[in-house]
């Protein structure tokens, strides 16, 4: 009969590795414990074991963690799909048609990953984008597609003054995403920045990524005026990417 304690240890260790891969370099033990709903003491014990086995390493300030030598090559190979030439061409064409930043995101089951960053407009708050799904348009788009979204954001963190950290308020935002077919956020991830996220679906109709249009929050109406062209671009990107 399987040892349930060993099974739980293996399962939790894998979940921790996935959390570090999803959140990026510097994620802390506290953030991991909150994200996964694992007891802090258990999290610290498993993190120390994974560091000892070189699956993880501590960051220079000793506060956070990153993938270790035994995993970095594997993660690079499987985590982020390549952007085909045809998709890059379509993306470049759309970027040339707008003064706003245009970023391409890939969705994992519980994380947003940058697939193509606008070369002329670096992503503001990229570290927070990877860790706090509730604070970004792309994150809300992903959460709205998940019935278990409350588990993914069990303890929402206030990133900016307008970040929603109440589950009831978040539920309202996610219902609006389902009703309208796109997500938006303003001053929630980075003060002064607004973003629209248009869904990208794979061949079976599964949400697989997002096309994000980003600009100053005081220009949100102008950003919204680009929504339909962005949606059209996202629709055409799906078959090229997935």
Per-residue pLDDT tens digits of the chain, which is 242 residues long: 445 566 688 889 988 998 888 777 788 999 899 888 899 999 999 999 999 998 999 988 888 898 887 876 555 545 567 899 999 999 999 999 999 999 999 998 888 989 999 999 999 888 788 889 999 999 999 999 999 899 888 889 899 989 999 999 999 999 999 999 999 999 999 999 999 999 999 999 999 999 999 999 999 999 999 999 999 999 999 999 99
pLDDT of residue 182: 98
- Residue 134: which residues within 8 A CB-CB, separation 6 or more? 140, 143, 153, 156, 163, 164, 165, 170
pLDDT of residue 90: 97
pLDDT of residue 130: 80
Separation between Cα atoms, residue 201 and residue 239, nearest integer Å: 8
Residue 63 CA, distance from chain mean position: 22
pLDDT of residue 23: 78
**Secondary structure of residue 107 in the 3-state scheme:** strand
pLDDT of residue 6: 63
Look at residues 206, 188, 152 and name the one whose alpha carbon lies nearest to residue 22.
152
pLDDT of residue 99: 92
* Cβ contact 29:65 at 8 Å: yes
DSSP H or E stretch at residue 22 = helix 4-23
Q: Is 34 exposed, middle or buried (0-12, 13-18, 19+ CB in 10 A)?
A: middle
pLDDT of residue 238: 96
Burial state string for 165-195 with b = 16 or more CB within 10 A and e = fewer than 16:
eeeeebeebbeebeeeebbbbbbbbbeebbb
């Amino acid at each position: 009969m399987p040892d349930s304690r060993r099974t739980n240890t293996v399962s939790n260790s894998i979940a921790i590795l996935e959390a570090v891969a999803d959140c990026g370099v510097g994620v802390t033990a506290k953030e991991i414990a909150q994200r996964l709903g694992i007891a802090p003491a258990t999290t610290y014990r498993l993190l120390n074991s994974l560091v000892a086995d070189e699956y993880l390493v501590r960051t220079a300030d000793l506060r956070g963690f990153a993938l270790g030598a035994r995993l970095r090559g594997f993660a690079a190979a499987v985590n982020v799909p390549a952007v085909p030439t045809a998709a890059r061409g379509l993306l470049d064409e759309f970027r040339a048609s707008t003064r706003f930043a245009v970023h391409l995101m890939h969705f994992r089951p519980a994380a947003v990953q940058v697939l193509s960053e606008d070369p002329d407009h670096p992503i503001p708050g990229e570290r927070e984008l990877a860790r706090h799904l509730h604070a970004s348009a792309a994150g809300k788009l992903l959460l709205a597609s998940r019935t278990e979204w409350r588990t993914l954001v069990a303890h929402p963190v206030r990133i900016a003054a307008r970040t929603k950290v109440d589950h009831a308020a978040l539920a309202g935002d996610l219902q609006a995403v389902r009703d309208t077919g796109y997500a938006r956020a303003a001053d929630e991830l980075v003060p002064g920045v607004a973003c629209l996220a248009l869904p990208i679906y794979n061949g079976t109709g599964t949400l697989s990524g997002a096309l994000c249009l980003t600009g100053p929050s005081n220009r949100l109406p102008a950003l919204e005026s680009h929504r339909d062209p962005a949606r059209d671009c996202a629709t055409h990107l799906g078959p090229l990417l997935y």
